[in-house]
């Protein structure tokens, strides 16, 4: 399988809700393997299919030695207890902002055999499950920031050396 390139902020795939996986075949297995291999690098906690340019409802995670994936994930439970955590994103590199997330989260979905699975998490794992599910719904973590932090984040993105507005990116292709 392959370590895939990460899609960056500004690409429409990141804000487009994903389609559910309906075929459980070699293509799906390859996608899951690519997600697992790509997330298995230092500093990476999770990776949604959209972040590698694929509009299907799949993500992988790698939190405290716990590595896995969920196909067609849905948030089944969010605790009322919240955590304030600094959050970043591979698709919005080098920017971290305080983000409120549920302290405990349960996600349900299926595996490669289309068998039901449940993943529960607390702390960083809960944050990861929520963050990656958001990606699959077309939501970026910066969409959840307090207004002043969101404004600072968008300003920092525009000033970053990795961001190309859509018009510039189209001209380079």
Of 157, 108, 156, 155, which Cα lies nearest the Cα of 129? 108
Is 132 a known active-site residue?
yes
Q: 100 pairs with which residues across the strands? A: 84
> How far apart, in Å, are the Cα atoms of 13 and each of 96, 116, 165?
22, 27, 14
CA pair distance 154, 92, nearest whole angstrom: 10
Average pLDDT over residues 78-84: 96
The string of DSSP codes covering 13-81 is: GGGSPPBPP---SHHHHHHHHHHHHHH-STT--EEEGGGGT--BSEEEEEETTEEEEEEEEEEEEE-S-
pTM of the model: 0.92
Active-site pick, 77, 132, 146, 167 = 132
Q: Which has more confidence, 170 or 146? A: 146
Q: Is the pLDDT of residue 173 over 50?
A: no
Instruction: For 5-62, write each residue's pLDDT tens digit.
Output: 999 999 999 999 999 999 999 999 999 999 999 999 888 999 999 999 999 999 999 9
Residues above pLDDT 90, as percent of the chain = 88
Task: Report percent pLDDT > 70 for the chain.
Answer: 94
């Amino acid at each position: 399988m392959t370590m895939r390139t990460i899609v960056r902020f500004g690409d429409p795939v990141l804000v487009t809700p994903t389609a559910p996986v309906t075929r459980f075949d070699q293509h799906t297995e390859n996608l899951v393997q690519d997600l697992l291999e790509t997330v298995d690098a230092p500093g990476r906690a999770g990776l949604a299919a959209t972040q590698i340019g694929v509009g299907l409802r799949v993500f992988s995670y790698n939190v405290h030695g716990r590595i896995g994936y969920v196909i067609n994930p849905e948030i089944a439970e969010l605790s009322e207890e919240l955590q304030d955590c600094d959050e970043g994103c591979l698709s919005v590199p080098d920017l971290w902002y305080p983000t409120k997330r549920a302290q405990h989260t349960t996600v349900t979905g299926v595996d490669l055999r289309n068998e039901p699975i449940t993943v529960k998490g607390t702390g960083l794992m809960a944050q990861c499950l929520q963050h990656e599910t958001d990606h699959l719904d077309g939501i970026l973590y910066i969409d959840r920031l307090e207004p002043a932090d969101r404004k600072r984040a968008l300003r920092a993105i525009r000033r970053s050396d990795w961001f190309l507005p859509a018009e510039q990116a189209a001209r380079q292709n």
